[in-house]
Chain A
């Protein structure tokens, strides 16, 4: 296990180097000059060249990249071209919001997804199964921005139960929880549908396994068969889907953050790309990559807990 963790962290270092080079070169090649964006349409040539010189954009590509990496290994991820704010600070302010949103939507997704999948599998081909499968299909098909807008219209504008947007209160307060409800449902629905489908098919497979039949024949109570013998064994593919989804959610969820005016990493990244704010793009992409690796590692460790036969050493 320890070996696995060490191996993953070593891989992470190489991965981050590779990613930083890819991001740096693609931003370098991409059309659009950060100095022109900062200067705005009214800036003259002399204005723009002064900004370029100030940001060090006139240096050759490799010089710029080496400077970036040199600073980054010392923990300095540079300053935003646009706001002159340290990149690390900008990310630190936003990451808690993205994390809150990702966890809340995962909670929504896991609860709804597993329960729906379970009912669906246990009552295969009943009306419950059909409704659950329909829900899953709808959940995957409905676009986030539409669902978000409709939820705002119903629960914030008409019923006035929940705030329209923003995320400025701590999650353990009533106000903070209220802010989380709609974005979590908006974002969680898609993942819930995916988990439900996976849970259904995985349960159906396990439920027909020989050992389940044997357990039944031995007179084990149905409750124990489902919770102990079936669900636990069906969990491996479900955990994989949950882990993958959670990784994506941590990368920031641009549309949900935009619709609900949440100050998260997804919005930071997309705004930085639009403004050609290279250091900010780099910083946020590296964060997302690191989180993805950590979440996957977590999933691998959880596997060994669920299925003790899995060993990494």
Chain B
């Protein structure tokens, strides 16, 4: 009997051993928690994200949650002003373009990384060369694909030579992936786990799947921020995150789903921030299919879609606008707002009947996230009313990306958050024939359009670029190549004690000016 008991205890002990092997208290995570206690004026905020950061190196990640942390720790040479949408220098002091292939950038002086390494032209060269190096396998190496070489002219001057004139270079340099990393830290440690930048907040700890903790950078070159501590907490279920916001366990959340807006609006301790954003959600055809190449077919589909009715379902979180480049994107022109095909179900019915478009069902592919399923159901109902037969195929994200890339669908919904806010960054990856079978999931190939997009990329003059992008935008609209369902409104909900939070139109935010009252 004793032996048996001993064995039971031994096995139980083996199972329990795992529990004791690791402390579950993350470093620096004391306090926090139930924030509705006494310390309401603690300069500390907790942000709830629905997924964990993938990593903390700007070079090696390309997802919005990681970017939100990276943007607080690292800085870029240029930033897009969220109000004016103009590109402004950040770590750069000024720049000039002596010729179409050369950009000479003067850097700000007396700035240090969190590890004490000085920020200088060498650090810029190191960061950009690392991003471009095929060995690094950076997810957005293509951002600097047009760059031929990066040269150090003196301690605080870098020269960027491009292979061809490249208009959106400053936009590319304002992308989180082009943030400047500390060369010394990169050689010493893994920046994915232990990041070092020049930003207003320093990294403290990351408990994977649970939280990331940052603290104030007292020596920040623009002056220390008000907040002492920032915690990103992973709360996968948005309705749990809203309850936590209500009880004060977290202080802000973002990316509010339209179906939860009325619940959040009813919370007394919460403010909602809404801002017209750069994300666009559209229905696209698989342009490699013969039926979809018929302009009358695309016109019939476009006429059948009552997009006003759809946008009304978004509880104020969508903007109805025909233009593919949204109002917050560089290259947008007001006149494109109603340049698409108008809703006219009778016209659609006539086209379907005359051309026999109802003979073969349409496979409408959709990812099972965000508002995509809702879009698919409404579009299916509207197309059915016009006489089409539509079958919805729903897939989880990774399978969807693969299926759409290979073009195994008739029509699908795609979206683009457009982090840099530049029109070329929308058109080139999504619709240029160079990228068919990859990021051009619409399989769109139009030589005239390609030419305009190439010109928009290789022209330096901003006014000229804007004209070209507008022309390309109109070309797509006239062609009904993609039908915009809505342009996104970016959102956040914060505890009322939080002041100064500013959302970027791409949905990201910066906590430098944020404080708690």
A-to-B contact residues, CB < 8 Å: 1, 5, 30-34, 36-48, 50-51, 53-54, 82-85, 89-90, 92-97, 99-100, 149, 152-153, 156-157, 160, 163-170, 175, 258-261, 263, 267-268, 271, 274-276, 291, 294-295, 297-298, 301-302, 304-305, 308
Contact = CB atoms under 8 A, between A and B. Distances in A.
A163 B249 contact: yes
Nearest to B403: A31
Contacts of B141: 46-47, 50
A298 B8 contact: yes
Interface string B1-24: 101110110011011101111111
Interface of B: 1, 3-5, 7-8, 11-12, 14-16, 18-26, 29, 33-34, 36, 51-52, 54-55, 60, 62-63, 134, 136-142, 145, 190, 192-193, 207-211, 233-237, 239-241, 243-244, 246-247, 249, 396-399, 401-403, 405, 414, 416, 419, 429, 435, 437-439
With a 10 A CB-CB cut-off, give which of A97, A160, A168, A274 has the most chain B CB atoms: A168
A255 to B, nearest CB: 9
A261 B234 contact: yes
A302 to B, nearest CB: 6
A103 B192 CA distance: 34
Contacts of A167: 24
Given A47-B138, A163-B247, A301-B7, 5 more contacts: A82-B54, A84-B190, A157-B243, A168-B210, A302-B8
19 contacts: A32-B402, A37-B397, A42-B140, A43-B439, A44-B429, A44-B438, A47-B138, A93-B22, A93-B210, A165-B244, A168-B24, A168-B211, A170-B24, A258-B236, A261-B237, A274-B396, A274-B398, A298-B8, A301-B7
Contacts of B240: 152, 164-165, 259-261
A37 B29 contact: no
Nearest to B60: A84
A43 B26 contact: no
A267 B210 CA distance: 11
Given A164-B240, A259-B237, A291-B15, A92 B21 contact: yes
Closest 3 CB pairs of A and B: A32-B398, A54-B137, A263-B210
Contacts, number: 212
Given A93-B22, A166-B33, A85 B208 contact: yes
A89 B206 CA distance: 12
A240 to B, nearest CB: 16
Chain A binding site: helix, strand, loop or mixed by DSSP?
helix
A152 B246 CA distance: 11
A48 B362 CA distance: 30
B139 A39 contact: yes
A170 B209 contact: no
B242 to A, nearest CB: 9
A50 B60 CA distance: 12
A305 B438 contact: no
Contacts of A83: 54-55, 192, 208
Contacts of A165: 235, 240, 243-244, 249
Contacts of A259: 237, 240
A46 B401 contact: no
A265 to B, nearest CB: 10
A50 B5 CA distance: 56
Nearest to A99: B19
A34 to B, nearest CB: 8
Contacts of A48: 438
Contacts of A94: 208-209
B240 to A, nearest CB: 5
Contact of A84 (B36, B55, B241): B55
A305 B24 contact: no
A209 to B, nearest CB: 24
B7 A37 contact: no
Contacts of B136: 50
Given A37-B398, A94-B209, A175 B33 contact: yes
B398 A36 contact: yes
A92 B21 CA distance: 8
Nearest to B398: A32
Given A43-B140, A47-B142, A96 B396 contact: no
Given A32-B401, A38-B139, A260-B240, A93 B207 contact: yes
Contacts of B208: 83, 85, 89-90, 93-94, 263
Given A44-B142, A83-B55, A94-B209, A166 B249 contact: yes
B328 to A, nearest CB: 17
Contact of B24 (A97, A164, A271): A97
A304 B16 contact: no
Nearest to A52: B137
A20 to B, nearest CB: 20
Nearest to A39: B139
B439 A44 contact: yes
Contacts of A50: 134, 136-138, 141
